[in-house]
Structure 1
Amino acid sequence: MIPMVDLKTQYQHLKSDIDAAVQGVLDSTHFILGPNVQTLEQELADYLGVQHAITCSSGTDALHLALRAAGIGPGDEVITPAFTFIATAEAIRYVGATPVFVDIDPHSFNIDVEQVRGAINDKTRAIMPVHLFGQPADLDTLKQLCRQHDLMLLEDCAQSFGARVGVQQTGAAGDFGCFSFFPSKNLGCYGDGGLVTTRDAAHAAMLRNLRNHGSDMRYHHDRIGYNSRLDEIQAAILRVKLPHIDDYNFSRRRVAHRYNELLAGTGVSTPFEDGLGTHVFHQYTILSDQRDVIMKALQAEQIACAIYYPIPLHRQKAFADTTAGVNLPVTDSVAARCLSLPIYPELPDASIERITQVIRGALD
C-alpha cells in the first residue's frame, strides 16, 4: 500500500532526537507554557521573519484567536474562498461575523483577487486568503486592496509553512498569519497545534491573553478567553522538526516535479506554479474529467488518494443562511474534478512511477 503521507518513516529518521526531547519534558514535569513553548515561539518568529509568534492548540484556534484579536465581530464581513477546509469560515462564524465567499483562480486554486475587489463593501472588515495546498496567494495585490480600503489581512497558512513570496514567508505579509501543526502538515506535531504570527505588539499581547483564559496573571482575568495553549510535548517535537522544514519542502517539490514529468501527456492537469511564490506542495492535486476512473484504479492497487474538497463551503448546510444565490462556477468545477495524490518528503521514485503508471493505465 502507498499511503497519502508516511509519518512513521519521518519519525524513524528523527527517533532518537524526538524521544530525547519528549523524555526531557517528562523528566521536567513542566507540561504547560514551559521553556519549550517559549523557545519554540522565538525560533518560529526567527524562521518566519516576524516580530511575534504565539502558539495555540490548533490551526482552527489560530484563526479564531486572530479574528478576536483583530476586533472582528457581529455585523462584520470577511471575504474568503469557499474552496478550503471548513475551519477557515468556521472561525469567522465563531466571532459572529459573516464569511463572504468568492471564487478562486482556476489555475492556482487560490482566491481570485478580482472577485475580492468586487465583494468589498462598507461591512467588509478583513480579507482572509488561503495559501491552498502550499501555493501562496497573490499577497501583493491583496495587501494593496487592504491598504486602499482600510481592511485587515489575515492569512490562512495552515498548508503553507515555509512557502515564500520572494524572500518573505507566508504568514509575515498580513496583519496575522495562522498556521496549523496537525500531524500531516509540512511541519506537524503529534497531536493538534497551531500558531498565530503578527507584527503588532498589542495584538500579540491580546493573543497571549486570549489563549490563556483571558489571563496574564494567575486568577486575574481581563476578558473571556479560551483554553488554547500548545503543550510542552508538542512544542518539544516541533523544535526537533523545525530545522528540517526547508529540506522537507525541497523534497516535496522534488516529488511534485517528478509527478509532473511522468504525468505529461496524460491529459490530466498538474499543479500550477504561478512564479509569484514558492509552492511547498502540502498536497499534490490534479484535475481530470476522469477523476472517478482514476480513483477506482488507484484504490484497486491499494494506492491512497483523496478529494480536497468535494463539497465547497458555499454548498454546505452550515452556511446555507448566508449563501443563497451565491454562484462560484470555478470552485464548483474544480471540486468536481480535483484529486490529490500521495505526497510526502520521503516518497520514493519507485512509488511515484507506480502511481503514475496506474493513472496512465486508467486513462488508456
Structure 2
Amino acid sequence: MKQIRFLDVGWTYQTLAPKMDAAAKRVLESGWFIHGKEVEAFEKEFALYTGAKHCIGTGNGLDSLELVLRAAGVGHGDDVLVPSNTFIATWLAVTRTGANIIPVEPVESTYTMDPDKLEAALTPKTKAIIPVHLYGQPADMDPIMEFAEKHSLFVLTDAAQAHGAVYKGKMSGTLGHAAAFSFYPGKNLGAFGDGGAVTTMDDTIAENVRKIANYGATVKYEHDSLGFNSRLDEMQAAFLRVKLDKLDNWNWTRKTIARIYLDGLADTPLVLPVVIEQTQSVWHLFVVRCKDRDGLIKHLADHKIETSIHYPKAPHKQGAYKNMAGISLPISEAIHREVLSLPIGPHMDEDDARRVVEVVKDFF
C-alpha cells in the first residue's frame, strides 16, 4: 500500500533537480552570497507576481511581520488587533515590538478574522490590524480595510500561507498596506531553508523595512536607527526563482485535490472548509473539523495516510502567553480542539486524493 505523505519537500527538488542544480551552481560560481543579483531578481519577480510596487526579501516570515510593524511605527504602548486563531508567529511579531495583542475571534466557518468583531476590540491605543490569510484563504478584506480607514489604522496582512491567493481580483500581497510572506520549506512557495519577504505599495514602508532589516542603515556603516540583520539568502532566492515559475501550476493541483475532498466528503459528519465568495484559496492546508479527531488520525495512519494538526493549541493557551491564559476565546478554543489537516500538495495526484476520501468515509 502506497504511503500518502502529508508533506514532501524533497519532491520539489526531485521534480526540478536540473534547474535547482543550475541555480545553485550559478550562485556558487558568482562568489556573491549576500544581497546579490539573485535576491534583486527575485524581489522584482515576486513584486510583479503579486502586483506590488515593492518586494523586500527577509530572513523569515516572523521577521517580515516584525519589520513591517516597526516600519509603520508600531511599538511600546500600542495595541494591535490580531486573530485569536493563527500560528503563534503572528502574535510573537507584535510582542517583539513591545506592542500589546488584542485578540479577535474568527468567523467559525472560514477560520479567518471576523470583521464584525473589530469594533468591540478597538481601544484608544489601537494602531494596527493583522488579518491572517489562514490555510491559504484570504481574510475578508473589504470590511477590514473600511474599518481601518475609518479609524486610521495600519493594516498588515499575514500572507505566510497564501502565495498566489486572490481576493476580489487582487493578489494576496496587495490586500493591505503591506504583506508579510514566509518561504519556509513547507509553504506553497517554499525555499530549502528559511526565508521571507515583505510586499507593499508604500514607498516609505518599503524604505523603512529595508533600513531596519539592514542594521538600521541605508548607507554602509551609517546607522540612522536601531535595526537588525534579516536578509533573504542569495542561494534561497535562486531556488525561489525556479519555484516561482511553477507556483500557479502547483496551486492548481492543490485546488483540484481540494475539490475532490469537498465533493467526496460532503456527506460525512466532518465540518469542511468554506471559501469566501469571490475568493480563490490556494489551499496551503485542507483543514476539517472532527469530533473524534484522534480516532480519525489513527484510522488514516493505519491506512498509511499522514495528517497533521494546525494548530493543536491556541496562542493564548501557550506557555509564552501564560499571562493571557485566563481570557476566554471560545471560538478559537473549539476550533483548536477539533481541527485536522488532510494531506494536500503538488506531490499528490487525483488518485491519492480519492483514496483519502474513501478511507475517511470508511471511518464513519
**Would you say 1:75 and 2:77 are equivalent positions?**
yes
Aligned partners of 2:51 and 2:173 also within 8 Å: no
CA gap of 1:50–1:233, structure 2 versus 1, over 3 A, is same
Aligned pairs for 1:229-248 (under 5 A) are: 229-248=231-250
Aligned position for 1:186: 188
- Range with bigger deviation, 335-344 or 240-249: 240-249
Write out aligned runs for 1:192-203 (5 A): 192-203=194-205
Kept after mapping to 2: 8 A contact 1:81/1:101: yes
Give SS of 2:109's match: coil
Contact 1:178/1:197 (CA < 8 Å) preserved in 2? yes
Pairing partner for 2:66 from 64, 67, 86: 64
Instruction: Flag structure 1 segments of 5+ consecutive residues without an equivalent.
Output: none
Residue aligning to 2:260: 258
Q: Deviation at 1:358?
A: 2.0
Matched residue SS, 2:81: strand
Deviation of 1:320 after TM superposition, in Å, equals: 2.7
- Give the 5 Å matches for 1:203-282: 203-282=205-284
CA distance in 1, matches of 2:308, 2:118: 29
Instruction: List per-residue Cα deviations over 1:67-125 (Å, max 9, x = no partner).
Output: 11011001101011121111000000000001111111111000111111211121100
Give the whole-Å Cα distance in 2 for the aligned partners of 1:167 and 1:246: 15
CA distance in 1, matches of 2:5, 2:100: 37
Is the Cα–Cα contact under 8 Å of residues 138 and 276 in structure 1 kept in the other structure? no
Tell me the TM-score normalized by structure 2: 0.97
* Deviation at residue 325 of structure 1 after TM alignment: 4.7
Give the structure 1 partner of residue 330 of structure 2.
329
CA RMSD of aligned residues (A): 1.2
Q: CA deviation at 1:346?
A: 3.0
CA distance in 1, matches of 2:158, 2:227: 21
The amino acid of 2:37's aligned partner reads: P
Letter in 2 for 1:243: D
Measure how far apart 1:349 and its partner are. Answer: 2.1
1:350 matched residue in structure 2: 351
5 Å-filtered alignment, 1:29-108, equals: 29-108=31-110
Q: Which residue pairs with 1:149 in the alignment?
A: 151
Cα-to-partner distance string for 1:329-362 (whole Å, 9 max, x where unaligned) = 2111111111001110231222222222221222
3-state DSSP class of the match of 1:161? coil
Moved over 3 A (4+): none
What are the ranges of 5 or more consecutive residues in structure 2 without an aligned counterpart? none
Q: Which range moved further: 185-194 or 256-265? A: 256-265
Per-residue deviation, 1:263: 1.3
TM superposition shift of 1:302: 2.6
Note if contact 1:255-1:345 (Cα within 8 Å) is conserved in structure 2: no
8 Å contact from structure 1 (residues 180, 193) kept in 2: yes
- Sequence identity of aligned pairs in percent? 40
Q: 1:48 touches 1:169 (CA, 8 Å); kept in 2?
A: yes
Instruction: Please list the CA deviations of residues 42-87 of structure 1 after superposition, one character each: whole Å capped at 9, or x if unmatched.
Output: 1111111111110100000000101110110011010111211110
From 115, 118, 140, the equivalent of 1:116 is 118
Instruction: Kindly tell me the number of residue pairs found equivalent between the two proteins.
Output: 362
Q: What amino acid is the match of 1:106?
A: E
What CA deviation, in whole Å up to 9, does each residue of 1:125-152 have, x standing for no partner? 0010100001110110010001000000
Letter in 2 for 1:31: F
User: What is the CA–CA distance in structure 1 between the aligned matches of 2:209 and 2:256, rounded to whole Å?
Assistant: 37
Other-structure match for 1:135: 137
Deviation at 1:324, TM superposition (A): 5.6
- The amino acid that maps onto 1:334 is I
Q: Structure 2: which amino acid aligns with 1:328? A: L
Q: Distance in 1 between matches of 2:291 and 2:246?
A: 37
Greater Cα offset, 279-288 or 217-226: 217-226
Match of 1:341 in 2: 342
Specify the code of the residue in structure 2 equivalent to 1:265. D
Report the Cα distance in structure 2 between the residues aligned to 1:120 and 1:248, rounded to whole angstroms. Answer: 39
Q: Matched residue of 1:71: which SS?
A: coil
| Map of 1:359 onto structure 2 | 360
Q: Give yes or no for the alignment of 1:162 onto 2:164.
A: yes
Counterpart position of 1:8: 10
- How far residue 305 of structure 1 moved from its aligned partner, in angstroms, is 0.7
TM-score (norm 1): 0.97
Deviation at 1:277, TM superposition (A): 1.2
Match of 1:309 in 2: 311
Larger deviation, residues 323-332 vs 192-201: 323-332
Match of 1:125 among 101, 112, 127: 127
The one-letter amino acid of 1:317's match is G
Aligned mates of 2:225, 2:128 — CA distance in 1: 23
How far is 1:319 from its partner? 1.8
Residue identity in the other structure for 2:133:
H
